[in-house]
Amino acid sequence: MVWRILLCSDGSPTAQAGASMLEALGLGEESEVVVLGVAEPGHPNEPLERALADLQSRLSVPGRAPEVRLRQGHAAEEILAEAEGYGFDLVVVGAHGRRGLTRFRLGSTASRLARHLPTSLLACRAVPAALDRVLISTSGEAASLETVRTGASLALRSGALVTLLHVMSQVALTWESPSEDLADTAETAMARGTREGIYLRQGLLTLSRAGLGQPPVARLRHGLVVDEVMAEIRQVGHQLLTIGAHRQPEASAAYAPYLDDIADRLLTHAPCSVLIVRATGL
């Protein structure tokens, strides 16, 4: 697959994180990259134009250089307009920047992009020289297998070890949830054929079919979703977190705000880069 990627920059040094991640993922040479700069009102264009030229030079390959585009206005609005007008597979931003993209730290701009982009979003921070540990967190929703496939596609190029994580809340979502499920590991859940075990087994099968260089690992944790995902990242040192953009469609209205908030909190607070996969047709 040749990825069509929109790499966004506000001209700050930390916006280079997006280019670093493309290099760590091995996407630079095989992808069609468009470099987008957003100049916000009240800021001179010259520093941004120099930064865009540097990105273009950095990501150029023999016979092909990224196209550079410059838009005027609010960062989130202009990124959305660009992404909606062209068929990109992935939008890439630095998770920390100045001016417009500084708001990624506060979550408002990132949340808007994650909710409204017609494609997947990759927010980059603490990018390593080589990517070797990828965490894919699934929710068991219908879109999860596409999340797994996308994460596997990226990890395949980098040769990273992939861990597939499902977090089971200590508070059962239904009265029918057996109490013994709360003591399961990934191995026992898969052996007993529980709902979580089925999700993990399907995810491992999808990862195995992707032809990864290393056998994937399954993990089942119990507790609050954000806390457990963050704990897994810190304990293992994962460098990229992959999650889905959609909550479980069968979830009740009472749980919807809680489930919608998970992606926002992980995007804002995770100590590594975060890929939010937008499932096709959803």
Q: Return the percent helix, strand and coil in the chain, to nearest 5.
A: 45, 20, 35
Binned at pLDDT 50, 70 and 90, residue 248 comes out as very low
Asked if residue 96 lies in contact with residue 10, where contact means CB atoms within 8 angstroms, the answer is no
Residue 134 pLDDT greater than 60, yes or no: yes
Residues 141-191 have pLDDT tens digits of 655 888 899 889 888 888 899 999 999 875 554 545 555 667 789 999 999
Q: Is residue 103 part of a domain?
A: yes
Amino acid at 70: L
Residue 22 pLDDT greater than 70, yes or no: yes
Handedness of CA 250, 251, 257, 259 (dihedral sign): negative
Residue 6 pLDDT greater than 80, yes or no: yes
Q: Do 203 and 273 sit in the same domain of this protein?
A: yes
Q: Do 155 and 246 sit in the same domain of this protein?
A: yes
Burial pattern 228-245, b for ≥16 Cβ within 10 A else e, equals bbbebbeeeebbbbbbbb
User: Percentage of the chain with pLDDT > 90?
Assistant: 46
User: Which pTM does this prediction carry?
Assistant: 0.86
Asked if residue 240 lies in contact with residue 272, where contact means CB atoms within 8 angstroms, the answer is yes
Q: Is residue 80 part of a domain?
A: yes
Q: In whole angstroms, what is the distance from residue 225 CA to residue 56 CA? A: 39
Q: What is the mean pLDDT of residues 256-263?
A: 62
Q: Do 261 and 160 sit in the same domain of this protein?
A: yes
**Residue 208 DSSP SS3:** helix
User: What is the domain range of residue 108?
Assistant: 4-124
Asked if residue 7 lies in contact with residue 92, where contact means CB atoms within 8 angstroms, the answer is yes
Q: Which backbone phi and psi does 247 adopt, to 5 degrees?
A: -80, 170
Q: Do 107 and 8 sit in the same domain of this protein?
A: yes
Q: Do 90 and 155 sit in the same domain of this protein?
A: no
Q: In whole angstroms, what is the distance from residue 202 CA to residue 136 CA? A: 13
What dihedral angle (degrees, nearest 10) is formed by the CA atoms of 258, 91, 27, 68? Answer: -160
Residue 247 pLDDT greater than 50, yes or no: no
DSSP 13: G
Q: Do 156 and 193 sit in the same domain of this protein?
A: yes
Residues 49-85 have pLDDT tens digits of 999 999 999 999 888 899 999 999 988 899 999 998 8
Residue 260 pLDDT greater than 80, yes or no: no
The reported pLDDT for the residue numbered 66 is 93
Of 135, 280, 115, the C-alpha closest to 203 is 135
The reported pLDDT for the residue numbered 141 is 61
The reported pLDDT for the residue numbered 246 is 53
Binned at pLDDT 50, 70 and 90, residue 192 comes out as very high
Q: Do 171 and 226 sit in the same domain of this protein?
A: yes
Enclosing H/E stretch for 133: strand 133-138
The reported pLDDT for the residue numbered 145 is 85
Of 189, 71, 175, the C-alpha closest to 140 is 189
**Domain count of the fold of the chain:** 2
Q: Do 15 and 45 sit in the same domain of this protein?
A: yes
Q: Do 249 and 272 sit in the same domain of this protein?
A: yes
Picking from 89, 124, 159, the residue at the C-terminal end of a domain is: 124
Q: In whole angstroms, what is the distance from residue 63 CA to residue 120 CA? A: 27
Picking from 66, 97, 124, the residue at the C-terminal end of a domain is: 124
Q: In whole angstroms, what is the distance from residue 11 CA to residue 55 CA? A: 10
Picking from 76, 91, 124, the residue at the C-terminal end of a domain is: 124
Q: What is the mean pLDDT of residues 223-252?
A: 83
Q: Do 158 and 262 sit in the same domain of this protein?
A: yes
Residue 104 pLDDT greater than 60, yes or no: no
The reported pLDDT for the residue numbered 9 is 87
The reported pLDDT for the residue numbered 250 is 45
Q: In whole angstroms, what is the distance from residue 186 CA to residue 78 CA? A: 43
Residue with tokens 């800021």, as numbered in its chain: 43
